[in-house]
Chains A and B, each alone.
Chain A
Amino acid sequence: IQMTQSPSPLSASVGDRVTITCRASQSISNHLNWYQQKPGKAPKVLIYAASNLQSGVPSRFSGSGSGTDFTLTISSLQPEDFATYYCQQTYRTPPTFGQGTKLEI
């Protein structure tokens, strides 16, 4: 299953509301996860099963969607949110990732 993210890159400012989109090549129900990765660090899960916030993740992050179209929204960008974001489907093996969206200042 191919996962396509847009836009990439994404330029924004502190305080902005931003939305990243992920599209699957076939229906994946809600088996969609979002990860954040900062330079030189391991990815960290933000959202699982399309809309569930991982414990410890700030509430400004939210996810939605089902089937083939999904979104990750950051309601008010903070300086620490500038990173690369990946979606991942776990509906079928292999659990493929999107190409990533780099969120830039």
Chain B
Amino acid sequence: EVQLLESGGGLVQPGGSLRLSCAASGFKFSSYEMAWVRQAPGKGLEWISYISTSVTIKSHADSVKGRFTIFRDDAKSSLYLQMNSLTAEDTAVYYCARGSQGSSYYFDYWGQGTLVTVSS
């Protein structure tokens, strides 16, 4: 069974840093593209980061570019999001999501999410 389990969320002060983790199981992690998607309280979904297989391509939304970095450790079947210079606008539930394989691209599995709250 495919499972994605996020961790690392919590309360952080403005300007602080946090590292989110996503532990994957039930599939060959190294063969899949992965992404982070967030959802601010009461708001819609916002894609923020993408990483290809073999770490050949990384992409970040303009809203987090230069502050957030996505990376992966295929040996540990884990995805990470390093978040720096956090602001109140980064308060959200952060989901990791698996990219589908094949000619059509979509997020076929999602984790349960981890809440990040940026507040003093």
Contacts and interface: CB of A to CB of B under 8 A. Distances in A.
A52 interface: yes
Contacts of B108: 45, 54
A45 to B, nearest CB: 6
A42 B106 contact: no
A48 interface: yes
Interface string A35-47: 1010001111100
B110 A33 contact: no
A98 B47 CA distance: 11
The range of chain A's interface size is 20 to 34
A42 B110 contact: yes
Interface of B: 35, 37, 44-47, 50, 59, 61-62, 95, 100, 103-108, 110-113
A99 B40 CA distance: 12
A65 to B, nearest CB: 14
B112 A42 contact: yes
Given A42-B95, A48-B100, A48-B104, A94 B110 contact: no
Contact of A97 (B46, B62, B103, B110): B46
A42 B47 contact: no
Nearest to A95: B47
Nearest to A34: B106
Interface of A: 31, 33, 35, 37, 41-45, 48-49, 52, 54, 86, 88, 90, 93-100
Pairs A-B, 8 closest by C-beta atoms = A42-B110, A49-B104, A33-B106, A48-B106, A90-B105, A97-B45, A100-B44, A95-B47
Contacts of A48: 100, 104, 106
22 contacts: A37-B45, A42-B113, A43-B37, A43-B45, A43-B107, A43-B110, A44-B110, A48-B100, A48-B106, A49-B103, A49-B104, A52-B104, A88-B106, A88-B107, A90-B104, A94-B59, A94-B62, A95-B47, A95-B50, A96-B47, A100-B44, A100-B45
